[in-house]
Structure 1
């Protein structure tokens, strides 16, 4: 019995049909390996991309309708959505990403009941965090005026920020439920609900603004409803038997050991916050320039177009994170490297197509969001920078996904601080304000930071000894995962 237990403790924890995977991707011709790898890649990336397109579409639809109300309203919406919501979402999504580790750990160790407990702990922690951020949304107008933003734009932004409070609390449940369900490969329910909410938002925005003439209030009402639809849908799915193994009801155990979970949540959010807040600085710096209304209007259009393409790259980020983690956990360094090469090539090819597309069309797409000739001309002037941003963003998020799969979050956090905040932002500020290139100068500086970060991540990925990473991963699995003998018992270390 002891010998058997010793053999089981030495066995890898993840056994995803290795014989079949070996036949599909381990040996054989390049074509067969590509087919097998892309099948696995798109099984994760496809639903992820669709979900992100639908969710991001809610914000873009709102911007499109607001853009036809007035330039001041659109500039205010750009400030709130790009600055305040990006700030809060960076914190909430980053902290919710700890649930990926916790649920993945429990699911891999077959301690399914712990996934529901981890979900409840995340709800407690993220709700508390959202409550602490409430004053920022309540006092948005005086805060923006205090930091030098236009008073007229700040007044409208203060109204929009109050509407965003229920949206923020919807994100608490939406982020955590998505990660809880994805850990069980229940991706399609998330995708279906995201498309339903997108369709509802499009219809309600038209009904409340075009037919009923409710203006800004109508659009924000529609957004609140659309953001809560996936939450209620996922809760019904979970509570009504969609996850019979992992959801066993509410438990008082969720109220214990919150400090270690909080610590993990905070550390998980650092890398993501640094990236999400980068574009926020770009918008804030633009808000201080002359004719800030037109500049913010044009920049928000460009950033939203860039955001659409980013949804593809972020989908690949999720997919390669899963692929690298699975292959390293299964002890397959060769297939991990092949997965990285395949996804980088795929994402870069898609980015190259969009790069050419936006160079060709330049400012013509801006008329979807505005009727102002001045704003359209500003967008056309920024289009080359937009095209280069899209090209860089087709690679950079994928490499961040590789880092997540390999467990390099702390390393990437240091890289982000150096390239973004010590190089990109200072150079952008100097070009924009000292040399008078305005928003173009700020954007060029930000692009420089992203370029250097991408080069560093490419260098790290190429220089990595992936066989050594397999050993590191196996040691990490033994340290973090709970063994079969401890099923149903708390970890003796008192940490998740």
Structure 2
């Protein structure tokens, strides 16, 4: 059945990728409608159009990763990730500089790298002995499980989208400020720094989701709780190391993004706020993974909706535009959303009735792939 669930998830990914591709193709008019500067919108459109093939590969990769993680197959995934990262670095440099494609070369290399990564995963799943009992080949039965998968996939997607979109909306809001090019660059640097740091938390989130789902499904409630405690401590510990490193070398880090001395100077003022958001994000990432493992996707989705759309973003507009704190104000609002999100998820985790979670998890084994 794991193989069937994998295929049903892939079907959903194909459909959604096709819909997103249409939006990406019309990136320029959409951004102009959102009152972004035409030159910026045009450059973004060029990047997104060449990235369209990559979104299909990315969807397949996410399905395959969950398929492997649900069976505690991890190290081969690490190897494939390292290989694809090296290939991507070589491709990006070759297409941008050697081939002279410039800005277009970045998205083309990303699309090619994603497809290479997916092919490696697909070949591994097809021929590895690890999956001889869970991969039985292509089956039409997968279409029967599309709707049941969607019931868990939609809340899972929403809980992620409500958070990710909040970060991206900050970049759009920065484009509405005076000296929009500088403010957009500054917020984009902060968003990218947050995203890079979150990759550490994302690994812990995936691990705790798998551990909690497997342990609660087996009736090992104490082990599930212990997995959450250990993972949460590790995530915050590593985030603290990142924060300390960022505080000591923020000018060096900013220079990787821009050579503009004014932007580098402004980034130093953002560093304390960025450190706070990284710590909150590291905590909520693990708690969100625990929520997925317990089948609480709907609760987490509502939490993220309220925390970011009803609290974080309105406060960001208040601080940034009305109080005229500009970029710092936008990020302060986001921190309020992250704090609300992490606090709510922590309360849900502490006050849940785990015996009931055990019963719910046994009836929803598909969620480990969502």
TM-score (norm 1): 0.69
- Judged with a 3 Å threshold, the aligned counterparts in structure 2 of structure 1 residues 477 and 442 are, in CA distance, closer, same or farther, namely closer
Query: Matches of 1:140 and 1:378 in 2, distance apart?
Result: 29
Q: Is the 8 A contact 1:395 1:454 kept in 2?
A: yes
Aligned counterpart for 2:132 among listed residues 226, 238, 244: 244
Q: After the TM superposition, which residues 150-299 of structure 1 pair with which residues of structure 2 at under 5 Å, given as runs?
A: 150-242=37-129, 243-299=131-187
Query: Matches of 1:117 and 1:256 in 2, distance apart?
Result: 9
How far apart are residue 257 of structure 1 and its match?
A: 4.6
Deviations along 1:127-172, one digit per CA (max 9) or x if unpaired, are 1122122221111111111110001111111111111101111112
Whether 1:304 aligns to 2:192 is yes
- Judged with a 3 Å threshold, the aligned counterparts in structure 2 of structure 1 residues 369 and 183 are, in CA distance, closer, same or farther, namely same
Query: Matches of 2:261 and 2:32 in 1, distance apart?
Result: 28
Structure 2: tracts of 5 or more residues without a match: none
Query: Matches of 2:97 and 2:365 in 1, distance apart?
Result: 55
- Judged with a 3 Å threshold, the aligned counterparts in structure 2 of structure 1 residues 480 and 153 are, in CA distance, closer, same or farther, namely closer
Q: Is the 8 A contact 2:55 2:111 kept in 1?
A: no
Q: Which deviates the most, 221-230 or 455-464?
A: 455-464
TM-score (norm 2): 0.91
Q: Is the 8 A contact 1:298 1:375 kept in 2?
A: yes
- Judged with a 3 Å threshold, the aligned counterparts in structure 2 of structure 1 residues 334 and 218 are, in CA distance, closer, same or farther, namely closer
How far apart are residue 358 of structure 1 and its match?
A: 1.9
Aligned counterpart for 2:291 among listed residues 395, 398, 403: 403
Aligned counterpart for 1:472 among listed residues 332, 356, 364: 356
Whether 1:376 aligns to 2:271 is no
Q: Is the 8 A contact 1:271 1:416 kept in 2?
A: yes
SS of residue in 2 equivalent to 1:149: coil
Query: Matches of 2:40 and 2:13 in 1, distance apart?
Result: 30
Structure 1: tracts of 5 or more residues without a match: 1-113, 483-495
User: Match for residue 88 of structure 1?
Assistant: none
User: Match for residue 332 of structure 2?
Assistant: 444
Q: Which deviates the most, 334-343 or 265-274?
A: 334-343
Query: Matches of 1:389 and 1:474 in 2, distance apart?
Result: 33
**Number of residue equivalences:** 366
User: Match for residue 135 of structure 1?
Assistant: 22
- Judged with a 3 Å threshold, the aligned counterparts in structure 2 of structure 1 residues 117 and 327 are, in CA distance, closer, same or farther, namely closer
How far apart are residue 216 of structure 1 and its match?
A: 1.5
- Judged with a 3 Å threshold, the aligned counterparts in structure 2 of structure 1 residues 244 and 130 are, in CA distance, closer, same or farther, namely same
- Judged with a 3 Å threshold, the aligned counterparts in structure 2 of structure 1 residues 349 and 157 are, in CA distance, closer, same or farther, namely same
Root-mean-square deviation over aligned CA pairs: 2.2
Structure of larger gyration radius: 1
Query: Matches of 1:241 and 1:200 in 2, distance apart?
Result: 23
Query: Matches of 2:21 and 2:156 in 1, distance apart?
Result: 22
How far apart are residue 217 of structure 1 and its match?
A: 2.5
How far apart are residue 361 of structure 1 and its match?
A: 2.3
Query: Matches of 2:194 and 2:76 in 1, distance apart?
Result: 27
Query: Matches of 1:338 and 1:474 in 2, distance apart?
Result: 15
User: Match for residue 457 of structure 1?
Assistant: 345
Q: Is the 8 A contact 2:221 2:358 kept in 1?
A: no
- Judged with a 3 Å threshold, the aligned counterparts in structure 2 of structure 1 residues 418 and 257 are, in CA distance, closer, same or farther, namely closer
- Judged with a 3 Å threshold, the aligned counterparts in structure 2 of structure 1 residues 427 and 165 are, in CA distance, closer, same or farther, namely same
Q: Is the 8 A contact 1:363 1:376 kept in 2?
A: yes
Query: Matches of 1:434 and 1:481 in 2, distance apart?
Result: 48
Q: Is the 8 A contact 1:351 1:391 kept in 2?
A: yes
Q: Is the 8 A contact 1:295 1:378 kept in 2?
A: no
- Judged with a 3 Å threshold, the aligned counterparts in structure 2 of structure 1 residues 453 and 257 are, in CA distance, closer, same or farther, namely closer
Q: Is the 8 A contact 1:400 1:412 kept in 2?
A: yes
